[in-house]
Amino acid sequence: MPPLPDLMKQFLEHLEIERNVSPLTIRNYHHYLNRFLDFLHKRYPTLETISELDQEVVRQYRLFLSRYADEKGLTLKRVTQGYHIIALRSFLKYLAKREIKTIPAEMLDIPKGESRSLKFLDRGQLERFLAMPENARDKAILEVLFSTGLRVSELVRLNRGDINFDRKEFGVIGKGGRSRVVFLSDSAAYWVQKYLAERTDEDPALFIRTSGRRDAPLRLTVRTVQRLVEKYVEKAKLPVKITPHGIRHSFATDLLSAGADLRAIQEMLGHKSVATTQIYTHITNPQLKKIHQEYHRKKS
């Protein structure tokens, strides 16, 4: 049997080649599995093969993650501990498919993360937020984010030639290599075209920076768009500290509140499972509010 580090390397290569997993996910899995490997080297130096892994070793690893603190005393959040276990489970499933004997992945429970509130803007807040930019580029970015529900990583990868302005739509390759078609509102299409008409460069990127080093790529980075959104949230004096992903939440909640079909929104967001999309139904279903009001009127 190959040494454990070699098996992990083969697993990461499998994710890249066979599963078409994003480089960011592979990097994260590499980080999580390396931490597991370091734990084994320090706590179980005599453990030579993955077949020796058992429930007690896993239990000790869970304790290690729960009690972990770096040199600054920072601990791992419950959700981050969960990411470590998810990576280990995926690795064990890969080994099982290769008929390499080890502990079944199903024996590893994923720790529940802290409950987090879903941040989104209501219609009035959205209109105030979208009115903040004073230049065509920033206005186009905000309009496209809200019009399409794009992830910020998908937005910065867009090229000029990707968009069909006649049909006001374009294709996107999202998480897991899943493709989907997204649609521009009339307002978003107008501002993107206005912005492009002002451009004098020939860079293929749809959105580019207007300052910085001349020898650096012009394409906007994810962090630049995040800062841009933060700037206009502050300028609009919004009570919600929204992020680009919060605009994606706003896109979904706005559609659901208007009565859009959940499956259709799943497709537009690029969710693999409708269960992921269902998180929005608990806060946007007007029927739930109606039932709640009717129930309380009857009880009073």
270 vs 277: CA distance, rounded Å: 9
142 vs 130: CA distance, rounded Å: 6
Cα–Cα distances in angstroms (integers) from residue 201 to residues 141, 209, 219, 244, in the given order: 18, 11, 12, 26
Check if 84 is active-site.
Answer: no
Encoded tokens for 229:
């959104």
Check if 271 is active-site.
Answer: yes
Check if 175 is active-site.
Answer: yes
**C-beta of residue 137 within 8 angstroms of C-beta of residue 195:** yes
64 vs 153: CA distance, rounded Å: 33
Check if 248 is active-site.
Answer: yes
Single out the catalytic residue among 32, 83, 94, 280.
280
Match 């680009």 to its residue by tokens. Answer: 244
Single out the catalytic residue among 14, 30, 235, 245.
245
Single out the catalytic residue among 151, 195, 232, 249.
151
Single out the catalytic residue among 19, 157, 160, 175.
175
200 vs 16: CA distance, rounded Å: 38
**C-beta of residue 151 within 8 angstroms of C-beta of residue 171:** no
Single out the catalytic residue among 35, 84, 139, 248.
248
State in Å, rounded, how far the first CA of the chain is from the last one: 70
Taken in order 41, 46, 52, 58, the sign of the CA dihedral is negative
59 vs 192: CA distance, rounded Å: 53
Catalytic residues: 151, 175, 245, 248, 271, 280
